Chain A
Amino acid sequence: MYSLKVKLWGRAGDRGPLFNAIIYILLISLGFVYLYPILDMFVTSLMTLPDLLDASVKWIPNTVTMDNYKEAMSIMNVKGTLWSTISAALFPALAQCVVCALTGYGLARYNVPFKKLIMALILATFILPPYVLMVPNYVMFSDYKLIGTLKTLIYPALFGQGTKSAIFILIFMQFFRQTPKALDEAARVDGAGDLKIFFRIAIPLAVPAFVICFLFSFVWYWNDTYFTALYLNGNNIADTSHLSTMLLELQNFDAMFKAHVQSNAGWGASVMGESVANEAIKMAATVTTVLPLLILYFILQKNFVRGIDRTGITGE
């Protein structure tokens, strides 16, 4: 009996088939649970109205349609907002990467005065919820007439105070600590200055850290609607006529849909009562906002997963 148990379950450090099976079953079922909403979203977004109403159609639509996407894209004005969405994420993310790399490098490689204090302050900027700073920042931006421009997002990032900058500084610091100092010294003997060492030696070695930081930063800026709405649209956060991002459009999708139906069907539409977008169109809209991120993730996925091993992301 005992030996049977050992055979199936395995010994410590040497897994038996039963133990293995449990691990894979857990991984696969949890993986399915993770992916379920995404799969559901994709499938629903391709459905036609009859399929949507038919309870027997769950996973495989009878007819696949792209009309939902067409409609969702015109409602969200993707043509107009795509570039502003990208730039509202790309430029702050780039600025943030550069500045956090500089700060992390400085703290990791030099004896900066008050280093402990600076570290403590960096942590403070992470822990203190940004809502405390939101009102004064808003006032400051409006004093300088910056509300409604991307500068409201770029400037703080450029000074290391963007979304969750503290995390990126810590990642870079950790990374630069791990890279060997011998290279620096060799370069210094050859007459390279501090800047040259940073650009020629530190940065090329830090590519994995840059990938991780850029990806996270981009994603977090892309997905933010709270500050984006406030800083880009000012007083009227529901008014997305100025500068808008796809996520903001998604947030106001119901209102946008109503306006769209009314402008297409004339005032007759309002007589028919509330016009609400059906599930398929909503899901198509959601997929549209997520898709660029998914593409980015799959392109960088190899670097990302490998980078996690190498950056020592959590620090010691």
Chain B
Amino acid sequence: MGLAFVSPWIAGFFIFFLYPFITSIVFSLSNVHITAKGRKMDFVGIANFTDIFTKDAYFVDRLVYFFKEMLINLPLILVFSLLIAILLNQSIKFKGLFRTVFFLPIIVVSGPVLKMLMDSGSTTIPLIEQYGIYGLIESSVPAFLQEPITNMLSELLLILWYSGVPTLIFLAGLQKIDVSLYEASYMDGASSWVAFWKIVLPSMRGMILINSIYITVFLATSELSEVIILIRQYMLDASKGFGISSAMAWVYSVCILLVIGICYLLFGRERKAVRHV
């Protein structure tokens, strides 16, 4: 009987996941032509992949840039959302109001809206430009990270906005920490600061893993990612076609899976944390 409840999903898995998954691999290894009679596929081996890396002018640049940006944004979003979750978890007045405010960005974040706000300059904090922080960055940060960092600062609000769902997840995790743990530590003379490092952070390990995966997936699927725009553009471009774009999608996905793998190695090695996934 349980199977009956799950069966729509299983059917969907085969139709909309497994079948396209295999087709996509086949596409990425072939040259797909659209002719009057229909699609024609020639097997070309890994030619599409070598073409991407040797012939294409944009893909590698955009890919590298995307991951540089992620290197900065991911830890920032994690730290920031944990901070907000801790603040929201204190016994404060107007709890509901504050929560409503901090979860609001979840609703508003979307490609076109963010783009409009970025164009109009609403996402920058004016102070940053006034205090010559850009100059400071140029003199003290290694060159390869300079552009992503200045970009990050000019879009700082976006990063705060991306923290919506991670904050939610952290908050749910914080509420599960047993209150008696804090009380015991206070009895032993620990300060809130010590309690944070010894109790909160270790018990948040699983949540950090979930969040880092969520944020990675979120950033990768964000419509502001230049890579995915390129993939779609090539897909609809007759001279590039389905083969190249499938290959690109695979390269992109493997890179993202690598990032997720690294997150897992960093935050997920304990057995307890594995269970959280």
**Chain A residues at the B interface, C-beta cutoff of 8 Å:** 11-13, 15, 23-24, 26-27, 30-31, 33-38, 40-41, 44, 99, 102-103, 105-107, 109-113, 118, 121-123, 125-140, 155-156, 158-161, 169, 194, 198, 216, 219, 222-226, 230, 235, 237, 247-248, 250-251, 253, 279, 282-283, 285-286, 289-290, 293-294, 296-298, 301-302, 304-305, 308-309, 312-316
Contacts and interface: CB of A to CB of B under 8 A. Distances in A.
Contacts of A38: 104, 108
Contacts of A237: 232, 236
Interface size class of B (residues with CB under 8 A): 35 or more
Most buried by A among B1, B169, B250: B1
A172 to B, nearest CB: 11
A226 B111 contact: yes
A289 to B, nearest CB: 7
Most buried by B among A111, A135, A235: A135
B110 A136 contact: no
B29 interface: no
Contacts of B16: 133, 137, 155-156, 159, 161
Contacts of A122: 9
Given A161-B9, A308-B172, 12 more contacts: A107-B2, A112-B6, A133-B20, A140-B20, A159-B12, A226-B228, A279-B120, A282-B120, A283-B120, A309-B172, A314-B173, A314-B276
A177 B261 CA distance: 29
Q: Classify the interface of chain B: helix, strand, loop or mixed.
A: helix
Contacts of B117: 37, 41, 286
Contact of B104 (A35, A127, A251): A35
B24 A160 contact: no
24 contacts: A23-B90, A27-B88, A33-B125, A37-B123, A37-B157, A102-B8, A106-B2, A112-B6, A123-B277, A129-B253, A131-B252, A132-B21, A132-B24, A132-B253, A133-B16, A133-B21, A135-B242, A223-B110, A290-B113, A294-B104, A294-B108, A301-B100, A305-B100, A314-B207
Contacts of A313: 168-169, 172
A282 B116 contact: yes
Given A134-B249, A135-B235, A289 B112 contact: yes
Nearest to B4: A106
Contacts of A222: 110
Contacts of A131: 228, 231, 249, 252-253
A132 B256 contact: no
B260 A12 contact: no
Contacts of B12: 99, 156, 158-161
B137 interface: no
Nearest to A32: B101
B232 A12 contact: no
A226 B107 CA distance: 17
B50 interface: no
B1 A194 contact: yes
A302 B100 CA distance: 9
A222 B84 CA distance: 27
Interface in B108-145: 108-113, 115-117, 119-120, 122-123, 125
A134 B249 CA distance: 9
Contact of B112 (A225, A297, A301, A312): A225
Contacts of B217: 126-127, 129
Interface of B: 1-6, 8-13, 15-17, 19-21, 23-24, 27, 39, 84, 87-88, 90, 92, 96, 98-113, 115-117, 119-120, 122-123, 125, 157, 160-161, 168-169, 171-173, 175-176, 182-183, 185-186, 189-192, 195, 207, 210, 213, 217, 220-221, 223, 228, 231-232, 235-236, 242, 245-246, 249-250, 252-253, 256-257, 260, 275-277
Contact of A125 (B13, B39, B246): B13
Given A113-B3, A118-B10, A224 B101 contact: no
Nearest to B194: A12
B116 A285 contact: yes
Contact of A314 (B100, B108, B210): B210
Contacts of B157: 33-34, 36-37
Contacts of B39: 139
A-B CB proximity, top 8 nearest:
A110-B2, A159-B12, A106-B5, A223-B110, A136-B20, A160-B9, A136-B23, A161-B16
B221 A130 contact: yes
Contacts of B102: 30-31, 34
A219 B192 CA distance: 38
A34 B105 contact: yes
A140 B15 CA distance: 10
B17 A125 contact: yes
B2 A159 contact: no
A127 B257 contact: yes
Given A139-B39, A309-B175, A127 B2 contact: no
Given A139-B242, A226-B111, A129 B17 contact: no
